[in-house]
């Protein structure tokens, strides 16, 4: 089966439609790449593209989108609510199907080299592609944004990029390239109006309170439906799978005498995350994705 990788680059332009359209066109002209989504936010003054395909073409499309952004966006003229250091601000690669995180890290590192070599934009690596632990998260890298980085990159060693000389691009700033797991927005609804229960369960499962790794969770009230919800982001379903959080929530809710009413996926979800559920609950043994009848049409 084909390898599928996703790329979700963020650009510092959320107001001029023609600029974002030009960037999207640069992606579209690469054969085999499919754009899933183009989002523009005027107050953030930021656009987010989502596209998928095989690794080589997605990497090529990512480069072309960065090149186009470097050509069209001048950060000196940019203002918006969202922190940013570059015209092409953040470029994550995400493994979707038949591809490892290691391969996505390699795609990120290669892209970073090319961005410096051909566009003279210095590059930082973040998330799974980070080469320094303090650069796994974006806020550290983006501290003070373009305006501070312009002054500090050349003089403060801790702000030196991973690729390229410590010389910020005069209009396009710097770019952060990385690899991360696919984010799944997943909610479990409980047949009660006891908000404390939802909050307690959320606290018990989220990584920040010592729960499951790669899980963010909050408790909410669904006023109109008279229910409460454990609302989650699964940051990497290969580390913590859906059945694990679903069963943990069910157990704690049932211990309080409350049944699960339903669950819901918000937005997109990789096929593998759903197949994992089927395999888990059916205790499937020796099942291969190659047994899926439609697979030949995807190759």
82 tagged catalytic: yes
Cβ-based nearer residue to a copy of itself, 120 or 276: 276
Q: Measuring CA to CA, which residue among 45, 71, 84 is closest to residue 171?
A: 71
Six token digits for residue 268: 């997109």
Instruction: Classify strands 10-11 and 227-234 as parallel, antiparallel or unpaired.
Output: unpaired
Number of residues that bind a copy of itself (CB under 8 A): 43
The distance in angstroms from the start CA to the end CA of the chain is 6
Instruction: Classify strands 184-190 and 260-266 as parallel, antiparallel or unpaired.
Output: antiparallel
Minimum distance of a copy of itself from residue 178's CB (angstroms): 19
Give the binding range for a copy of itself (CB under 8 A) out of 66-74, 122-130, 226-234, 274-282: 274-282
Residue numbers 27-66 binding a copy of itself by CB under 8 A:
34, 36, 52-53
Dihedral pair phi/psi, residue 34, rounded to 5°: -115, 125
Residue numbers 143-202 binding a copy of itself by CB under 8 A:
182, 189
Q: Does 248 engage in binding with a copy of itself (CB under 8 A)?
A: no
Minimum distance of a copy of itself from residue 217's CB (angstroms): 16
Minimum distance of a copy of itself from residue 53's CB (angstroms): 7
Neighbours of 285 (CB within 10 A): 6
Helix axis angle for 17-28 and 55-72, nearest 10°, is 150
Give the binding range for a copy of itself (CB under 8 A) out of 41-49, 158-166, 205-213, 261-269: 261-269
In whole angstroms, give the CA distance from residue 252 to residue 249.
5
From the candidates 78, 82, 169, 280, give the one annotated as an active-site residue.
82
* 196: three-class secondary structure by DSSP: helix
Contact set with a copy of itself (CB under 8 A): 2, 4, 6, 34, 36, 52-53, 96-97, 182, 189, 242-243, 246, 260-265, 267-271, 274-275, 277-278, 281-287, 291-294, 296-298
Q: Could you give the residue numbers annotated as active site?
A: 82
């Amino acid at each position: 089966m084909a390898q599928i990788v996703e790329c979700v680059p963020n650009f510092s332009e959320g107001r001029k439609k023609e600029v974002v359209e030009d960037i999207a066109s640069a992606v579209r002209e690469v054969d085999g790449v499919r754009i899933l989504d183009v989002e523009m936010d005027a107050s953030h003054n930021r656009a987010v593209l989502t596209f998928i395909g095989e690794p080589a073409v997605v990497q090529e499309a990512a480069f072309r989108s960065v090149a186009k952004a470097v050509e069209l966006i001048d950060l000196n003229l940019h203002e918006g609510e969202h922190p940013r250091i570059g015209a092409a601000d953040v470029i994550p690669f995400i493994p979707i199907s038949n591809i490892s995180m290691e391969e996505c890290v390699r795609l990120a590192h290669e892209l970073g080299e090319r961005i410096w070599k051909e566009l003279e934009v210095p590059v930082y690596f973040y998330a799974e592609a980070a080469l320094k632990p303090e650069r796994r998260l974006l806020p550290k890298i983006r501290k003070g944004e373009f305006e501070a980085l312009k002054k500090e990159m050349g003089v403060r060693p801790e702000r030196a990029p991973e690729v390229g000389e410590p010389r910020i691009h005069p209009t396009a700033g710097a770019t952060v390239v990385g690899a991360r797991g696919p984010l799944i927005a997943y909610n479990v609804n409980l047949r009660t109006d006891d908000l404390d229960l939802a909050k307690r369960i959320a606290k018990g499962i989220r990584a920040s309170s010592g729960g499951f790794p790669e899980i963010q969770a909050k408790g909410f009230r669904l006023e109109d439906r008279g229910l409460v919800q454990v609302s989650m982001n699964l940051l990497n379903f290969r580390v913590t799978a859906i059945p694990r959080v679903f069963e943990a929530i069910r157990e704690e809710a049932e211990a309080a005498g409350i049944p699960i009413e339903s669950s819901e996926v918000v937005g997109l979800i990789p096929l593998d995350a759903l197949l994992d559920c089927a395999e888990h609950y059916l205790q499937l043994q020796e099942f291969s994705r190659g047994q899926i009848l439609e697979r030949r049409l995807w190759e």
